[in-house]
Amino acid sequence: MKIATFNINGIKARHAALCAWLDEAQPDVALLQEIKSVDEGFPRELFEERGYNVETHGQKGFNGVAILSKFPLEDVSRGLPGDDSDEQARWIEASVVGKRAIRVCGLYLPNGNPAPGPKYDYKLAWMDRLETYAKALISSEEVVVIAGDYNIIPQAEDAARPEVWRQDALHRLDSREKFRRLLNLGLTEAFRARHPGAGHYSFWDYQAGAYDKNDGIRIDHLLLTPQAVDLLEDAQIDHEIRGREKPSDHVPVWVQLDA
């Protein structure tokens, strides 16, 4: 089963590019972020005609997450547990029913800038909730993939110019420490498990020719429970689609599981 995460930066602007990638890459499951659409405005028919089941958790104008799956989706849940007052559409999860059930969780973690400040406090609090929920997911001993735009540059090697990002919310010490706490629970960052070393990025800014200069950062991650890691066959970044017409500033990252 091929499971991908892709921050599309607006379904209205990016639906053609997204469909082209789906037709080419043929992921079994695609977890989307920043759909920037209410649920009823999401063009689900474009994906249903390609054989995908569609579940969304939308929000007008910004945020918003979705799951596209060629397999049936069961037990769909929206919103990260732990704060009933949080109205931002940043979390969706469901069980993908193939040869075996796989729990997929799609997230759009807060950016947190400017930092320090209220937005950064929200980011850190959101990560605390994520840690608490991740513990429960791990305790379930299920095959779970927690994937999305984490807005975290985990290590210096995950940025072409780490010094530029040192005081940014994506790379501040508190952010990186909370990401490390997730890994220390027993989760494995799939891409790093297959590709150690520098030079691998999933985001390039639209400004100053960042993609042409390969001035990127790696902030889109798939974290796997131990039961999911046992099934890991491959992990890759489809970096080349950043150079296509009307691209997102992110590119897809995916894993292949023996499932």
Q: Which CATH architecture has domain 2-257?
A: 4-Layer Sandwich (3.60)
Q: What is the DSSP letter of 159?
A: B
What is the per-residue pLDDT for 82? 97
The residue type at 106: G
Please give the share of the chain, as a percent, with pLDDT higher than 90.
98
Percentage helix, strand, coil, to 5, in the chain? Answer: 30, 25, 40
Confidence of residue 142 (pLDDT cuts 50, 70, 90): very high
- Across the range 52-74, mean pLDDT stands at 97
* Catalytic residue positions, numbered: 108, 149
Handedness of CA 161, 162, 167, 169 (dihedral sign): positive
Helix or strand holding residue 255 (H, E): strand 253-257
Report how far residue 103's alpha carbon sits from residue 143's, in angstroms, rounded to the nearest whole number. Answer: 6
What pTM does this model have? 0.98
Confidence of residue 83 (pLDDT cuts 50, 70, 90): very high
Average pLDDT value for the chain: 97
pLDDT digits (tens, 9 = 90+) for 192-232: 999 999 999 999 999 999 999 999 999 999 999 999 999 99
| Residue 32 bridge partners (DSSP) | 6, 66
What is the per-residue pLDDT for 4? 99
Residue 66 burial (CB count, 10 A)? 27
pLDDT digits (tens, 9 = 90+) for 222-258: 999 999 999 999 999 999 999 999 999 999 999 999 9
65-69 vs 144-149, strand pairing mode: unpaired
Do the beta carbons of residue 248 and residue 7 sit within 8 Å?
yes
107, two tokens: 């997230």
Work out the angle between the directed axes of helices 173-184 and 118-139 (0-180°, nearest 10). Answer: 10
What is the per-residue pLDDT for 128? 98
What is the per-residue pLDDT for 6? 99
pLDDT digits (tens, 9 = 90+) for 11-49: 999 999 999 999 999 999 999 999 999 999 999 999 999
pLDDT digits (tens, 9 = 90+) for 91-137: 999 999 998 999 999 999 999 999 999 999 999 999 999 999 999 99
The domain spans of the chain are: 2-257
- DSSP-derived secondary structure for 172-185: SHHHHHHHHHHHHT
What is the per-residue pLDDT for 1? 97
Report how far residue 254's alpha carbon sits from residue 192's, in angstroms, rounded to the nearest whole number. Answer: 12
Most distant CA pair in the chain: distance in Å? Answer: 46
